[in-house]
Amino acid sequence: MAHLAVVTGNYPAPACPTHGTFVRQFAHAVARQGVRCTVIQPVAVHEAWRSDGFPARTYEDAGHDARVEIFRPRFLSVSARESYAFMGPLSPSRMTLHRFTAAVRRVLSRYQVRPDALYGHFLYLSGAAVVRLGQGLDIPAFPCVGEGELWTVRQFGVAHARERLRPASGFLANSSALKGTLIEELGLPADRIGVFPNGTDLSAFRPLARHVARERFGLPRDQFLVGAVGNFLEKKGIVRVGAAIEGLEGVAGVFAGSGPVPPSASNTALCRRVPHEEIPELLAACDVFVLPTLIEGSCNALVEAMACGLPIISSIGAFNDDVLDESMSIRIDPMNVEAIRCAIIQLRDDPRRRTAMASAALERSKEFDVNDRARRMLAFMEECATRA
């Protein structure tokens, strides 16, 4: 494969630099394999009122003398809500999908972009768009399923998804659990679904000197620092991490993110949005990473923390089974604050176990190198395209 077009509604831009960093990591990794990578990110008109916030055409340095070209065509988004699914062809969600797809088509036509394959991140809108375009242009199309649950499908209905997604050349699922969901709920053939848990850039996320990292962020040197990274949403569970550490002796929280449900522990050392390029050093400052998330596709934050050599406390659930094992993680009920608290205390009070888990996490993270993941995904897409 010489050229891959990545279609996504979620990609970093000056207006939202922390959005879709996992898609950027994938695009850059593809480019580093010697494959030309073009990103097409349709932006709703109502979100793009500042042209400097979503530049129409830019380039990014992907490293190793590779670069990624990004197009951001505008489109008129009506809406895409689950409550509209019953309206069928008259649903505003379908109108939005049609316009999103048309925006991608304009870029392909106007700039004569002729990729060997189309990749759509998330089933809707991007996945459905690339399948439709692939049929019309005779280009292999591959939706990537990263939704922790099929929430994007519910905006259109299962019947629409079964009909519109089935012609895809193949599907890339971020977990074994998601592959099972695609088979059971959408009736998709198992032999066209590859499983590729999210990876990270191991050259960026790696162990660093803890005392230097703490000084860099002004964090206490003598505290047991509990780290959590992600959106401050109920389902991510960072608010429950705050509740779990409240009043714990010698413990302070380090929370990177933003959102409507922030943690409120009195013993919080840091709680704010942190640029993604600074996350490796912030993780290096911590003693343990805690994320009692309710649902994931494949959690980047866990892999990044593992690569920085942190023991993990996270959720029991099939969505974590491809990434976590007992050698480097403690699995808990994500809604049980007392269980989270007890796990933190266990690691605070047992430095020998903590060290062993940290070493195991670092070793395990080597299985999730983003460059290796990109190579395997490209090989899978080539195989599926050949079979088709």
Question: pLDDT class for 85, splitting at 50, 70, 90?
Answer: low
* Confidence band of 81 (pLDDT split at 50, 70, 90): low
Among 111, 43, 109, 98, which residue's Cα sits nearest to residue 74? 43
Q: What is d(CA 54, CA 48) in angstroms, rounded to the nearest whole number?
A: 6
The topology under which CATH files domain 210-368 is Rossmann fold (3.40.50)
The closest of 382, 10, 315, 387 to 172, measured between CA atoms, is 382
Q: Quote the pLDDT of residue 86.
A: 60
Count each helix (H run) and each strand (E run) in the chain, helices first.
13, 16
pLDDT (tens digit per residue) in 233-291? 999 999 999 999 999 999 999 999 999 999 999 999 999 999 999 999 999 999 999 99
Mean pLDDT value across residues 329-338 = 99
Task: Tell me, yes or no, if the pTM score tops 0.95.
Answer: no
Average pLDDT over residues 302-311: 99
Please give the class, per CATH, of domain 3-199+370-387.
alpha beta
Please state the rounded mean pLDDT for residues 57-68.
Answer: 97
88-122 pLDDT, tens digit per residue, is: 676 888 899 999 999 999 999 999 999 999 999 99
Domain borders along the chain are 3-199+370-387, 210-368
Judge contact between 300 and 22, C-beta under 8 A: yes
The band of 83, judged by pLDDT with boundaries at 50, 70 and 90, is low
Mean pLDDT throughout 288-299? 95
Q: What distances in angstroms separate CA 385 from CA 34, 117, 141, 380, one per listed residue?
A: 19, 8, 9, 9
Are the beta carbons of 142 and 29 closer than 8 angstroms? no
As a whole number of Å, the CA-based R_g of the chain is: 21
Instruction: With cut-offs at 50, 70 and 90, classify the pLDDT of residue 150.
Output: confident
